[in-house]
Amino acid sequence: MITYKYSALSPDGDKVNGVVNAIDEYTAVEKIRADCPIVLKIEPVKKGGIYDILGADIGGKKVDAKALSVMCSQFAVIIGSGISIEGCLNMVSAQTEDKKLKKMLSMSAEDVSQGTSLATAFEKNYPQLPPLFIETVRAGEMSGTLDASFNNLYEYYKRSNLVSQKTKSAMAYPMFVLAVAAVVLVIIMVKVMPTFTSMFKDFGAELPTITVVLIAITNWFQKGWMLIAGIAAVLFIAFKLWTHNEKGRLQWSKLTLKMPTMGKINKLNASQQFSTSMASLIGSGLTVAQALKVTSKCIDNYAIAKEVSSMSEKIETGAALSDVIKSSEFLPDVLKEMTGVGERTGELVKTLQTVGAYYTQETEYATQKMIARLEPTMLVFIAIIAGFIVLAIYLPMFTMYNYM
């Protein structure tokens, strides 16, 4: 839950200042307008301090997409069978293994029994739930299609979890190889090389250049490891500070879109997030403007998220989605054209679902292709380092044997 401070005008025209807790800015404005029809200014309360920056994502309560997907499928089936919301919550709670979701469902059942709406109960008892989940449930309640909304959420989170698992699986081997190589290199530098260095010094003969270089690197590493760690820490903190403010975060997100290979993957991923989120939200009954606001919270890349958020403002002035999406700097032309076709034919949800499936496949293919290129590159790099160390150690040993 985010805390916002605001200035607004009451029905009597008096200026009112205050704070409100909400899952996002859109929800905060809705809460303020319940008492004050005109909102003059709203902004999140800043939580300064370097510890907030370093610990922002550490120890958080991130929702497990797989558990959320299973929960949504259970809701869709049980609600469709005609059981009450309270009974549904108790049944799903009994079947859910995820402790956080189980606790949230039990507490939500109590709130719903006292007259609280399902979306409000979820938002209250588990603030870390994604905005897309909360708003889709809220739209389903308002339109009377809660079972369809949960079914849309099930499909969305099942697909998201599948993409995430495939990416993690593809990256597991390269990351393991890098980790092992780093550990072995540190052991060689700290434990093995000092022994050979003292032996070479006792030998007294002139050492090959490659061995001298390795000894110099080893000595520097042993004496300067604290300096290396300090520089790494400073760079990490500087990066976190830079990306924590609006300007730096925007610059970094734009930079990630221009990176070789990774830039393409980031654009494809944002395209599938946009398509699948919009399809789920519009299919659940949200207006296009509302769907765009929520979708902007679901896109990982901040630059594209800002673009999508600005689109909702243009839609509210009466512009068509097909027109405002054309102004996007980063979304691909295929997505823009297909969105226009879907809007003109009245099949926007179905078109976005098709486009979302296409970009999901493209994201997976691009990621696998990158991993396929990365693995041999890493092996060649590791082989060069290993070859350098082996030559640096064995060349002077051959010289020693000649003198014996």
At 195-245, the pLDDT tens digits run 777 777 666 667 778 888 888 887 787 777 788 889 999 999 999 999 888
Give the other-Cβ count within 10 Å of 149's Cβ.
31
pLDDT, residue 51, reads 40
pLDDT tens column, 46-70:
654 444 444 443 334 567 778 888 8
Q: For residue range 5-19, list pLDDT tens digits in order.
A: 888 888 888 888 888
Same domain, 29 and 78: no
Of 103, 132, 158, the domain-final residue: 158
Q: Residues 272-300: what's their mean pLDDT?
A: 86
pLDDT attached to residue 400? 63
Same domain membership, residue 312 and residue 194: yes
Neighbours of 169 (CB within 10 A): 10
| Parent domain of 339 | 173-404
Q: Same structural domain for residues 194 and 293? A: yes
CA 25 to each of CA 4, 29, 56: distance values in angstroms, whole numbers, following the listed order:
8, 6, 19
Residue 214: name the closest of 191, 194, 187 by CA: 194
Give percent of the chain with pLDDT exceeding 70: 92
Write out the DSSP string of 25-65: HHHHHHHHHTT-SEEEEEEEPP--SHHHHHTTTTT-----H
What mean pLDDT do residues 322-327 have? 88
pLDDT band at residue 80 under the 50/70/90 scheme: confident
Q: Does the residue 55 lie in any domain?
A: no
Yes or no: say if 152 and 280 are a contact pair by the CB < 8 Å rule.
Answer: yes
Q: Are 192 and 390 in contact (CB under 8 A)?
A: no
Instruction: Give the domain CATH number at 314.
Output: 1.20.81.30
CA 74 – CA 64 distance, rounded (Å): 16
Q: Are residues 283 and 353 in the same domain?
A: yes
Answer yes or no: do 272 and 347 share one domain. yes
Identify whether residues 280 and 303 lie together within a single domain.
Answer: yes
Q: Are residues 324 and 369 in the same domain?
A: yes
Helices (H) and strands (E) in the chain, counts: 17, 3
Q: How far apart are CA 34 and CA 40, in angstroms?
A: 14
Residue 35 lies in a domain: yes
- Nearest residue to 40 via CA among 21, 12, 24, 17: 17
Q: Looking at the structure, do residues 141 and 209 belong to the same domain, yes or no? A: no
The reply to whether 290 and 384 lie within a common domain is yes
Residues 352 and 200: their CA atoms lie apart, in Å, by 68
Q: How many structural domains compose the chain?
A: 3
The pTM of this model reads 0.66
Between 58-67, 309-318, 373-382, the lowest mean confidence (pLDDT) is in: 58-67
Q: Are residues 213 and 291 in the same domain?
A: yes
The two three-digit tokens of residue 150, written as one number:
């949960």
Q: How far apart are the first and last CA of the chain?
A: 75
pLDDT score of 81? 83
398 shares a domain with 284: yes
| pLDDT (mean) for 166-187 | 79
Please check the confidence at residue 39 and state whether its pLDDT lies above 50. Answer: yes
Q: Do 131 and 181 fall into the same domain?
A: no
Four-residue CA torsion sign, 295, 298, 304, 310: positive
Distance between CA 157 and CA 149 in Å, rounded?
12
